[in-house]
Every structure is written in C-alpha cells, then in structure tokens.
Amino acid sequence: MRRMVKPKVFVTRTILDQGLNLITGYCDADVWPGEMPPGRGEILEGARGADGLLCLLTDRIDGAIMDGIGPQLKVISNHAVGFDNIVVSDATARGIPVGNTPGILTDATADMTFALMLAAGRRIVEGERAVRTGSWKTWSPAFMLGADFARATLGLVGFGRIGRAVAHRASGFGMRILYHDPSPVIPEPGVAAEPAELHVLLREADFVSIHTPLDNATRHMVNAAFLASMKPTAVLVNTARGPIVDQAALYEALRSKRIFAAGLDVTDPEPLPPGSPLLELDNLVVCPHIASASWATRARMSLMAAENLIAGLKGERLPNCVNPEVYAKEK
Ligand code: GLV
C-alpha cells in the first residue's frame, strides 16, 4: 500500500484547537511555538518548502517571502478578516490564492465597537481609575459628565458587514444613523440609516466609528482636518486598523479637547510604546486589538482559516478567497 505524503504547512502561531486539529489531521504542520510573532527570517526558515502558509495579521507576507518559501507554495490563509498584512498583488502574480475569515467576527467586532463607544463616551475607564486611586470623593451633580446615546447621531465611516452590525445595535439605543461608504451600498433591512457625504457626517455625528479596510485611500484618513470637522463633543472609535488614524493628530485633538474622547482597539504600532503621549490622556480608552476575541469567534476563525488552507492544498477553490482572480487566470 502506498503511503500518502501529507502536505507540509507552516502555521505562524498556535491557533485555537478547533482549527489546529483540522490542520494537524490533514497536514504535516510546523507550528511556530513562540508567544511573539516569528520574524521575517524565522518565517522563511520555518516555511521554506511548505505547500501552505497559515499566517496572522502580525506577519507581513510579501513576494520575497513567497519566493523564499518556494514555487510549491499553493495557498496563504490569513487568520483575520483584514488582509493588509499580505501583499495580495504579489500572491496573485504568483497564482497563489489568499484566504481570510469574513462574516464570523462581525458581531464580536460590533459589540466591541459599542463597548468602546460607551467606555469613551461615558468615561468608564477614567471613572474606574478615579475609584481605584481614591480620587473620587463623593457623588456630585457635575462630576464626570459624558455623552448621551439616545437621539444622538452615529456616523459610520464604512457600511459593510461590521458597520451594519453596529447600526443594528445603535438602533436599539435610539440613535440616528448616518453612513458614508464610497462603494455602492444596498440598504440594510431593519435599520433606518441614511447615506451622507463625509463632511456632513463629521459635522453632524456625536459618535464617529471607522469600519473601512486599511489601504492607500484610508491610511491616515483620520487626520487633523478630519478631526477638526468633528463636533467638540464627539467621540471617535476605531476598531478597524491603527494606521487609518494619524495618531499625532489624534493626540493633539484629544489633548486640546478639540474632540471629547476616543476609543481605539487598534493602534500603530501595536502595542503602543510605553512612552506614547497617547497613554497620558484621560479621554482615550485603548484596548489590545481584541474586537474578535470572544470564545466562539476565535474558534470559528481558526476553523475557517484551516478550511481555507486545506482547500488550497487540495487544489480546491478557497471558501473565502480575497483574490479570486487567481482562478480566472488558470483558464
Ligand atoms: C482582526 O483585526 C481581523 O482583521 O480579523
């Protein structure tokens, strides 16, 4: 009887068992054991000769890495919905499909967006610090006033899956919803959301939440002019990608109270260096990129990333492929 040779894959970090078990059952898997991401050299060394690569958003994967792994590389599966860490055009040029994990993290990310809106708008972290440090002395009528939610206007910059899920939550809070999205948008059933030009959205919104991918058009989109167009009472929330916000401009806007507060799940870099001036601000809530970090979501992400990887190894179409043009090229 002929022994089947298992495809060789490199997995750049330990992922949840649901996905990992699927991978180790089908593949000869080398899993990077570190808590910190492998460096470029370590990815090249670990993945050289691999048929498949499963990577995380902390790994930058470009053509040089793909070439170093070798011409047998059949698939790159990203354990994330965002894929700005991969130079997709380099993968497409080499006929390599790239997978991602859309849909399954929509609710968890929308929940986190709302948590940040509430935390920043109602000063929850600042208040908690006051209790812990003993600087809170007594209940007082004008103490720690923050934003209202009912009848406030939410401005969603980006109205894809996650933006829409945030809109549903905002409807429950009695908010008016505006959205701005340059791509054609179909209305979302059950939500009264109105399209708006960006300058109108920024002028009217009490909360501005970012739900766009990171690309050349959105890098530093939230700059000094963007922030200057917001209300002084407004709250900015970013659960998308750190580099969408110009952090020097955000620091200045928060420090000078040009805007009321911000809640960030993503920063540039991640983590912020300990001396970052942003960390001195009371009107900033910052979290460690955990929007998708719920039990079920991370389990599903590991499974979906494993399914993309295995489909690619089998020469099948990836269930979730960000560069389907690789299939057209085969014809
Ligand atoms: C997380 O940020 C993701 O893109 O999945």
List, for residues 1-35, the tens digit of each pLDDT value. Answer: 566 799 999 999 999 999 999 999 999 999 999 99
Query: In this structure, are 114 and 237 located in the same domain?
Result: yes
Query: In this structure, are 205 and 70 located in the same domain?
Result: no
List, for residues 67-95, the tens digit of each pLDDT value. Answer: 999 999 999 999 999 999 999 999 999 99
CATH number at 179 reads 3.40.50.720
Which of 13, 241, 298, 300 is labelled catalytic? 241
Mean pLDDT, residues 96-123:
98
| Inter-helix orientation angle 161-172/106-121, to 10° | 50
Burial track 133-163 (b if 16+ CB lie within 10 A, e otherwise): eeeeeeeeeeeeebbebeebbbbbbbbbbbb
Query: In this structure, are 128 and 184 located in the same domain?
Result: yes
Q: Is residue 25 part of a domain?
A: yes
Query: In this structure, are 113 and 202 located in the same domain?
Result: yes
Q: Is the CB of 97 under 6 A from ligand 1?
A: no
Q: Is the CB of 57 under 6 A from ligand 1?
A: yes
Query: In this structure, are 98 and 192 located in the same domain?
Result: no
| Domain containing residue 13 | 8-103+295-329
* DSSP reduced 3-state for 175: coil
Q: Is residue 63 part of a domain?
A: yes
Which of 45, 194, 270, 316 is labelled catalytic? 270
Q: Is the CB of 81 under 6 A from ligand 1?
A: yes
Q: Is 270 a catalytic residue?
A: yes
Q: Is residue 3 part of a domain?
A: no
Q: Point out the ligand 1 atom lying closest to the alpha carbon of residue 101.
A: 5
Has residue 116 got a pLDDT over 80?
A: yes
Query: In this structure, are 84 and 18 located in the same domain?
Result: yes
Q: Is the CB of 302 under 6 A from ligand 1?
A: no
Number of domains comprising the chain: 2
In 3D, which of 317, 328, 329, 284 has the Cα closest to residue 74? 317
Q: Point out the ligand 1 atom lying closest to the alpha carbon of residue 80.
A: 5
Query: In this structure, are 72 and 168 located in the same domain?
Result: no
Mean pLDDT, residues 136-153:
98
What residue's CA is closest to ligand 1, atom 1?
A: 80
What residue's CA is closest to ligand 1, atom 5?
A: 80
Contact call for residues 11 and 20 (beta carbons, < 8 A): yes
The reported pLDDT for the residue numbered 282 is: 97
Q: Is residue 166 part of a domain?
A: yes
Q: Is residue 153 part of a domain?
A: yes
The proportion of the chain whose per-residue pLDDT surpasses 90, expressed as a percent, equals 95
Say how many Å lie between the CA of residue 293 and the centre of ligand 1.
10
pLDDT interval class at 202 (50, 70, 90): very high
Q: Is residue 1 part of a domain?
A: no
Query: In this structure, are 19 and 98 located in the same domain?
Result: yes
- In angstroms, the CA 109 to CA 13 distance is 22
Query: In this structure, are 219 and 302 located in the same domain?
Result: no
Query: In this structure, are 309 and 194 located in the same domain?
Result: no
What residue's CA is closest to ligand 1, atom 3?
A: 80
pTM to 2 decimal places: 0.96
Q: What's the token pair of residue 25?
A: 């059952």
What residue's CA is closest to ligand 1, atom 4?
A: 82
Query: In this structure, are 207 and 310 located in the same domain?
Result: no
List, for residues 212-247, the tens digit of each pLDDT value. Answer: 999 999 999 999 999 999 999 999 999 999 999 999
Query: In this structure, are 137 and 152 located in the same domain?
Result: yes
Q: Is residue 245 part of a domain?
A: yes
C-alpha R_g of the chain: 22
DSSP run (H or E) holding 178:
strand 176-180
Q: Point out the ligand 1 atom lying closest to the alpha carbon of residue 100.
A: 5
Q: Is the CB of 105 under 6 A from ligand 1?
A: yes
The reported pLDDT for the residue numbered 169 is: 98
The reported pLDDT for the residue numbered 176 is: 98
The DSSP annotation for 68-95 comes to HH-TT--EEEESSS--TTB-HHHHHHTT
Q: Is residue 320 part of a domain?
A: yes
List, for residues 273-323, the tens digit of each pLDDT value. Answer: 999 999 999 999 999 999 999 999 999 999 999 999 999 999 999 999 999
